[in-house]
Structure 1
Amino acid sequence: MKIAIDAMGGDNAPESVVKGALKARDEFSDLELILYGDKTAIEQYITDPTRITIVNTTEVIDMNDEPVRAIRRKKDSSLVVAANAVKAKEADALFSCGNTGALLTAGLLLVGRIKGITRPGLLSTLPVVSGQDGAFNLLDSGANADSKPEHLYQYALLGTYYASNVRGIKAPRIGLLNNGTESHKGSKVTQEAYQLLAADENLNFIGNVESKDLMKGVCDVVVADGFTGNAVLKAIEGTALAVMSLLKDTIANAGAKGKLGALLLKDDLKSIKGRMDQAQYGGAVLLGVKAPVVKAHGSSDDLTVYYTLKQIRTMIDEEMVPNFTKYWQVQQAKKVLDSKDAE
Structure 2
Amino acid sequence: MAGPKTIAIDAMGGDHGPEVLVPGAALSLERQPSLNFIFYGQQTRIEAVLKDHPALAAKSRIVHTDRIISMDEKPSQALRHGKGSSMWMPLEAVKVGEADAAVSAGNTGALMAMAKLILRPIAGIERPAIAALWPTISAECIVLDVGANIGATASQLSDFSLMGAAMARAVFHVERPSVGLLNVGTEDMKGNEDVKAAHALLKSAVALPLDYKGFVEGDQIGKGAVDVVVVEGFAGNIALKTAEGTARQIGAYLRAAMKSSIISKVGAFLAQGGFRVLREKMDPRRVNGGTFLGLNGIAVKSHGGTDAFGFASAVDLAYEMADSGLIARLTADINGFHQQLSVASSPSSPSEQPAGSAELRKV
Q: TM-score, structure 2 length as denominator? A: 0.89
Tell me the CA shift for residue 248 of structure 1. Answer: 1.3
2:321 match: 315
Compared CA separation, residues 136 and 28, structure 1 to 2 (3 A):
closer
Over 3 Å counting, the alpha-carbon distance change for 1:164 and 1:239 in structure 2 is same
Residue of structure 2 aligned with 1:270, choices 276, 282, 288: 276
Residue 52 (str. 1) matches residue 57 (str. 2): no
Counterpart position of 1:175: 180
2:352 corresponds in structure 1 to: none
What is the aligned partner in structure 2 of residue 329 from structure 1?
335
Q: 1:188 to 1:330 in 2, by over 3 A?
A: closer
Asked if the contact 2:203–2:212 (Cα under 8 Å) also holds between the matched residues in 1, the reply is yes
- Does the 8 A contact of 1:198 with 1:205 survive in 2? yes
> Which stretch has the larger CA shift, 317-326 or 237-246?
317-326
Aligned residue number for residue 218 of structure 1: 225
Q: Which residue of the other structure, out of 189, 194, 199, is the alignment partner of 2:199?
A: 194
Taking the aligned partners of 1:99 and 1:342, their CA distance within structure 2 comes to 49
Q: In structure 2, do the counterparts of structure 1 residues 323 and 267 end up closer, same or farther at CA, with 3 Å as the change threshold?
A: same
Alignment correspondent of 1:232: 239
2:15 partner SS: coil
> In structure 2, how many angstroms separate the alpha carbons of the residues matched to 1:37 and 1:168?
34
Q: Give, in whole Å, the separation in 1 of the partners of 2:257 and 2:69.
A: 41
1:90 to 87, 95, 98: 98
Task: State the secondary structure of the residue aligned to 1:144.
Answer: coil
Deviations 1:62-107 (A, max 9, x none): 1210012212213232101221222222111111111111111111
**What amino acid is the match of 1:153?**
S
The equivalent residue for 1:9 is 13
Q: Distance in 1 between matches of 2:152 and 2:336?
A: 24
**Higher mean C-alpha deviation, range 295-304 or range 204-213:** 204-213
Aligned equivalents of 2:8, 2:313: Cα separation in 1: 16
Given the alignment, which residue of 110, 123, 126 partners 1:102?
110
Contact kept in structure 1, 2:166 and 2:329, CA below 8 Å: no
Residue 281 of structure 2 aligns with an amino acid whose one-letter code is R
- The answer as to whether partners of 1:282 and 1:309 remain within 8 angstroms in 2 is no
In structure 1, the residue matched to 2:124 is 116
Could you tell me whether the CA contact under 8 Å between 1:176 and 1:208 is conserved in 2? yes
Unaligned stretches of 5+ residues in structure 2:
350-363
Deviations 1:13-71 (A, max 9, x none): 12110100122223322111111111111111112221111111112111210012212
Cα shift at 1:340: 5.8
Q: Taking every aligned residue pair, what percent have the same amino acid on both sides?
A: 34
Show the 5 A alignment for 1:38-77: 38-47=42-51, 48=54, 49-77=57-85
1:274 and 1:152, CA in 2 relative to 1: closer, same or farther beyond 3 A? Answer: same
Unaligned runs of 5+ in 1: none
Alignment of 1:112-191 (within 5 A): 112-128=120-136, 130-131=137-138, 134-191=139-196
Report how far residue 116 of structure 1 moved. Answer: 1.0
Q: Which has the larger displacement, 211-220 or 37-46?
A: 211-220
Alpha carbons of 1:278 and 1:199: their partners in 2 closer, same or farther (altered >3 Å)? farther
Q: Which whole-Å CA distance do the structure 1 matches of 2:263 and 2:344 have between them?
A: 70
Aligned residue identity for 1:251: M
**Do the aligned residues in 1 keep the contact of 2:162 with 2:333 (CA within 8 Å)?**
no
User: Secondary structure in 1 aligned to 2:267?
Assistant: helix
Counterparts of 2:150 and 2:87, CA distance in 1: 23
How far does the alpha carbon of each residue in 1:169-189 deviate from its partner, in whole angstroms, 9 at most, with x for none? 343221111111111111111
Deviations 1:107-139 (A, max 9, x none): 1111111111111111011111x22xx111111
Q: Contact 1:6 / 1:79 at 8 angstroms: preserved in 2?
A: yes
- Equivalent position amino acid for 1:167 in 2: F
For 1:36 and 1:175, how far apart are their aligned partners in 2? 39
* Conserved 8 A contact 1:2-1:91: yes
- Deviation of residue 251 (structure 1)? 1.5
Indicate the SS of the match to 1:32.
strand
